[in-house]
Amino acid sequence: MQTIFVTGCSSGYGLETARHFHARGWRVIATMRRPRSDLFAPSDRLHILPLDVTDADSIALAIEVAGPIDVLVNNAGIGLFGALEHSSMAKIRDVYATNTLGTIAMTQAMIPQFRARGAGTIVNVTSSATLAPFPLAAAYTGSKTAIQGFTGSLAHELAPLGIRLKLVEPGYGPTTAFAQNTDIRLEDVLPEPYGSFAAPILAAMAEPALSTTEADVAAAVWDAVHDRSEKAHFPAGADAMAIVAAAAQ
C-alpha cells in the first residue's frame, strides 16, 4: 500500500486530494495547522497530523510520526489579492513563508527518506497565475512562480536519485476556501485609483466564464503522481487549460 503525505488539508484542494487518494486505496497522511477529524470518515488508512510548514520542528515531527512516505504533495498556501502598494510587508512575508519557503522546507526535509529508498515523488501545487500575468496578485504570483523555478531546477538534481518532481497548476476556484484565504479587506488594499481598475476584474472573478474545482486539482495530482514520462506541468481546471492552449497558438 502506498502512502501520500498532503499539506494544507483543512479545506479546498488539499482536502479533496486527500479524499481522492484515500478513496482509491492509498494510505493518506492529511496535515493541517489545526487538525479536524470531522473532515474525514474514520479509517485505518487515514492519519490526520498537525503541521505548520513554516516551523522546522513541526515539519520534522510530522514526517517522523508519518512513517514511510511514497509521495509528498506540497499544497499548503495563502492567498493574497490587492494592489501591491497597499499590501503590508508583514502579510507578504507570511505569503512567502508558507507558499515558497514552506514548500522548499518540506521538500528538503523529505529528500533524505526518498534518497535512502531510491524512489519518491514530490508534487508542488502552484497556480495558473504562473502561466499568464494576473493583475492585482503580484506578490502571490511571485511566491508561486518561485516554486516553478525551484521545481524545474531540483528535478534535474534529484532525478539520478530516483526522485521525481511534478507541478500542478490550478486555475481560479471562486468557491474554494483558498480563494478567501486572506485576512486583508479588499477596501483596504484597493483604494483609488486601484478601485476603479479593479472593478471589472472583481466582477469577472465573481462570475468567471471558466474556473477550477477541487476535483479538478485532485485529479491532476493523481495524474502527476502516476505519470512516468518527462512531463512536468499539469494544469488543472478549464481556465488553466485555456491559458495553456492560448499560449500554444
Q: What is the CATH number of the domain that holds 108?
A: 3.40.50.720
Q: What is the pLDDT of residues 114-142, one digit of tens each?
A: 999 999 999 999 999 999 988 999 999 99
Assess whether the previous peptide bond of 193 is cis (omega < 30° from 0).
yes
Check residue 185 and give its pLDDT.
64
Told to judge if 140 belongs to the known catalytic residues of this protein, a careful annotator would answer yes
Check residue 178 and give its pLDDT.
47
Q: What is the mean pLDDT of residues 214-218?
A: 97
Percentage, residues of the chain above pLDDT 70? 95
Q: How far is CA 28 from the centre of its chain?
A: 17
Number of structural domains (the chain) is: 1
pTM check: above 0.75:
yes
Higher per-residue pLDDT: 160 or 247: 160
Q: What is the mean pLDDT of residues 6-28?
A: 97
Specify whether the CB–CB gap between 71 and 50 falls below 8 A.
no
- Choice among 13, 96, 140, 194 that is catalytic: 140
Range of the domain at 173: 3-248
Residue 175 confidence class, pLDDT cut points 50, 70, 90: low
Q: How far is CA 184 from the centre of its chain?
A: 20
